[in-house]
Amino acid sequence: MYIKNIKDMSAFYQLLLLLLVLLLLCVIPAKTSLASNSTSNSNIAASTAPTHADNDELIDFSSIKQVIKNDMLENVVVKKNEAILDVRNEKLKKKTKLYDFPSRENFWSLISEYWLVKNAQSLKWDFEKPDYGIDEAVKALFEGLGHYEVRFKLLVINDISPTHFSLPADSGEYIFILSLPFIRTMDLSKLEISLLILEDFYRANFEYFKQYANDKEIDDFFGKNFYNKKFDFEKINKILKSYTYFINEKGFSFPQQYDVTKKVSEVIRSNPNLWKTYNNLLYKIDTLIKNNGEYKSYNKIYPSPEMQLRWLKTSKL
């Protein structure tokens, strides 16, 4: 194009300016479109790229948090209930055991001690007394005669009757009763008292009293448990009555007394001191029951010191 004048130049610049504007309008949308496409491609790439959630899905614990909490509390309650049940069962076990009837081997010491408790008032054994040293004297005599490790209980009573006695006891055990007024009236020495108890020791070994007091009706009781079960206590009372009758009324027979005297004689005859002391003991008892009315029933229980002395003198024992 050829410009002739100023006017034509002005029109030319205006046209050029218009072309520049149009050019700019075409360039800017293109850049915007490219940027938009780039963003879109990035989004597509991002959307197609593998994520952690695609391979290992994350668990939302907030929805089961209360369930876990409840389960934990339930376990605590279960354990607590189990502990309470264990305590209750242990208490019930102990309570049930209280109703165990003893075995035959453990019955006699128990029933003898029960009889002593029931008759505490009449026997007057619950009183203050010094240590008389009788236990040690008896033990020394027993061991001197070869009776080692004899388990015995010696109960001193403050009444004239029974004068002395051996109650039925479990195997290998002995329960002796000794009247304090009886030994004081005769002023017995410890050795004389020990020989008196030696007689009762052999009576216990012969089981005269136990055989009399034994009641076959209680055989079914041995070793059984009576928790929440009916127990016929009258059968026990029957045995207790047998105790009282045997100790206060029946006593021992002449043949039984003879066997006891013979046994003591066999054991001590080789020891002059024991032999002499035993004879002196029988003489003191014989003199007492002949001269003191309080002990006139002694012969009924132990027949008789006079006969024992005769047996010893005849040397037939």
Please, which pLDDT band fits residue 57 given cuts at 50, 70 and 90? low
SS3 99: coil
Give the number of other CB atoms < 10 A from CB of residue 220.
Answer: 11
The per-residue pLDDT for 70 is 60
Q: Residue 286 is encoded by which pair of tokens?
A: 């014989």
- How many whole angstroms separate alpha carbon 152 and alpha carbon 170? 11
- How many whole angstroms separate alpha carbon 266 and alpha carbon 202? 12
- CA 290-295-298 angle, 5° bins: 90
pLDDT tens digits along 179-194:
999 999 999 999 999 9
Among 201, 192, 187, which Cα is nearest to 276's?
A: 192
The per-residue pLDDT for 217 is 82
pLDDT tens digits along 93-116:
887 878 788 888 889 999 999 999
The per-residue pLDDT for 32 is 44
In whole angstroms, how large is the CA radius of gyration of the chain? 55
Q: Which residues of 98-126 are buried (b: 16+ CB within 10 A; e: fewer)?
A: eeebbeeeebbbebbeebbeebeeebbbe
Among 115, 123, 110, which Cα is nearest to 242's?
A: 115
Question: Is pLDDT at 165 greater than 50 in this prediction?
Answer: yes
Question: Is pLDDT at 34 greater than 50 in this prediction?
Answer: no
CB 239 within 8 A of CB 218: yes
Element (H, E) at 118: helix 108-118
Tell me what the pLDDT averaged over the chain comes to. Answer: 82
The per-residue pLDDT for 44 is 38
pLDDT tens digits along 201-218:
999 999 999 999 998 888
The per-residue pLDDT for 208 is 97
CB 196 within 8 A of CB 164: yes
The per-residue pLDDT for 66 is 61
CB 229 within 8 A of CB 98: no
The per-residue pLDDT for 50 is 45
The per-residue pLDDT for 270 is 93
Strand partners, 157: 179
Edge-to-edge strand order for the sheet containing 173-179? 151-157, 173-179, 164-167
If you average pLDDT over residues 7-34, what whole number do you get? 52
Residue located via tokens 């491609």: 41
- How many whole angstroms separate alpha carbon 75 and alpha carbon 79? 6
Among 222, 218, 223, 254, which Cα is nearest to 238's?
A: 218
Reported pTM: 0.71
- C-alpha 71, offset from chain centre: 38
Q: Residue 145 is encoded by which pair of tokens?
A: 């005669």
If you average pLDDT over residues 156-161, what whole number do you get? 95
